[in-house]
């Protein structure tokens, strides 16, 4: 399974739960970006 497919599966599971908010997906996006761009520091900014 590719990293992108894994990301899509994770967010699909979250969406299907019916309890996901915008913030629910941020950790999965961070993980995807860190895996695709290992030389780039990715951080979540929550406010």
What DSSP string describes 10-32? HHHHHHHHT---GGGGHHHHHHH
- Helix and strand numbers, DSSP H then E, in the chain: 2, 0
Contact of 29 with 7, CB cutoff 8 Å: yes
pLDDT along the chain (47 residues), means of 10: 94 95 92 94 82
Euclidean distance between CA atoms 19 and 13, whole angstroms: 10
> Rounded to two decimals, what is the model's pTM?
0.82
Contact of 44 with 26, CB cutoff 8 Å: yes
Residue 13: its pLDDT value, please? 96
């Amino acid at each position: 399974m590719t990293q992108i497919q894994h990301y899509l599966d994770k967010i699909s599971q979250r969406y299907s739960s019916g309890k996901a908010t915008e913030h629910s997906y941020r950790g999965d996006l961070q993980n995807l970006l860190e895996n695709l761009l290992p030389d780039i520091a990715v951080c979540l900014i929550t406010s």
